[in-house]
Amino acid sequence: MGLLSWTEKPASTLANGGVIGPDERLPWPQTTVMGVQHLIAMFGATVLAPILMGFDANVAILMSGIGTLIFFFMTKGKVPSYLGSSFAFIGVVIAASGYAGPGPNANIGVALGGIIACGIVYTLIGAVVQAVGTGWIERFMPPVVTGSVVAVIGLNLAHIPIKNMAPTNFDAWMQGVTFVCVALVAVFSSGMLQRLLILMGLVVASVIYAVLTNGLGLGKPVDLSGLVSAAWFGMPNFSAPVFEVNAMLLIAPVAVILVAENLGHIKAVTAMTGKNLDKYMGRAFMGDGVATIVAGSAGGTGVTTYAENIGVMAATKIYSTAIFVVAGTMAIVLGFSPKFGALIQAIPLAVMGGVSIVVFGLIAVAGAKIWVDNKVDFSNNKNLLVAAITLVLGTGEYTLKFGEFALGGIGTATFGAILLHALLNRKS
């Protein structure tokens, strides 16, 4: 199949138990609907990440769409994936920019310079993988390492919603209401509604918040004046990068985490489709890296392949890359809507904090799931020590200083896991 060319399969294929492969597609009306579903699936997390870092949500959505199309073309349309905002950047961006939230990040330029540096490192890793294969990465980052690093991302961020996003006792209670709403949607709903557990939980909690504040006067009311006055279409608030060495050295190592994420996602899609996508691994890394560079150049967050969208593919058995062209194009259109940005800004801080608790917890559990899925043996002292030390380094914000430069939290945990495993592995 050539680029932008898919074998069309009838809609009845799925009814008969069939699968739509990466180089196939349903008729365009059904493909478009699936594109909308994938856009919605990534929506909550891709919008939440920029808010937590003080970035513009419109720019983040716009750059996720552009990044998805860049990824599509660089992988020759062979790897089905959506690129959304990466949560791996949150901790280091907050540390590098000194962002305390809420509202716009006044030092966003410094963070963008670091994101671009990370994208460059990521792209170079992709070029090496394309030349020599993935074996060396899998040796340095086995499941015990990748699981530990992913878990640390969620644990390291846990203090943000609890310490910074509940200024009053009412807000703390509303955070609890919010994560309970998300949990209820996750357990008691089904189908697509269940897939949108974050978004649906947020909507329900926001309505409850509005009733309690605007209706009963128990807290800070929801202000929709900005939403009413915002234009339907307009230019996003782009930002320019500023290149500071300390910030670049702090944020660039996130490339290692992105490699681990992307590697795991492609392995998952390979298992689901029965098509070996390893030969496109280097292109996938480079596509993700270039997309991160482009995003950082305009004021967007760093991007990564999304587990949410992989989950949708697993549920629907539709792996067509055509749906991601549709989803990416729609995201670009949405990025040029100030009214969308105003809607995001109107979400109560406490509700966003409750959602953050869920999301960061899910990230931590995703790391543990990597251990379970790959049957990591914790009776082996090597695995036990790598995981144990990594979790505490990241959660406790263990920091090492090299002159004026400080490496802490996610950075020390990531490099610590890789180096410690390499050292302990010398025995075998």
Q: How far, in Å, CA of 10 to CA of 311, rounded?
A: 23
- Per-domain boundaries in the chain: 21-427
Burial (CB count within 10 angstroms: exposed 0-12, middle 13-18, buried 19+), residue 96:
buried
Overall average pLDDT of the 206-213 stretch = 90
Overall average pLDDT of the 39-64 stretch = 83
pLDDT at 289: 96
The string of pLDDT tens digits covering residues 265-324 is 787 777 777 778 888 999 999 999 999 999 999 999 999 987 667 767 776 778 888 999
pLDDT at 2: 45
Single pTM value for the model:
0.74
Q: How far, in Å, CA of 3 to CA of 284, rounded?
A: 15
Q: Which residue has the higher pLDDT, 310 or 29?
A: 29
The string of pLDDT tens digits covering residues 92-145 is 888 888 887 677 888 899 999 999 999 999 999 999 999 988 788 778 888 898
The string of pLDDT tens digits covering residues 322-378 is 999 999 999 999 889 888 777 777 888 888 888 878 877 877 887 788 788 888 999
Mean pLDDT for the chain overall: 84
Residue 31 has pLDDT above 60, yes or no: yes
pLDDT at 25: 83
Task: Compute φ and ψ for 16, nearest 5 degrees.
Answer: -95, 15
- Provide the token pair at 410: 């996610």
Helix ranges (H only) for 167-238 are: 169-188, 191-195, 197-210, 225-229
Peptide bond into 348 cis (omega under 30): no
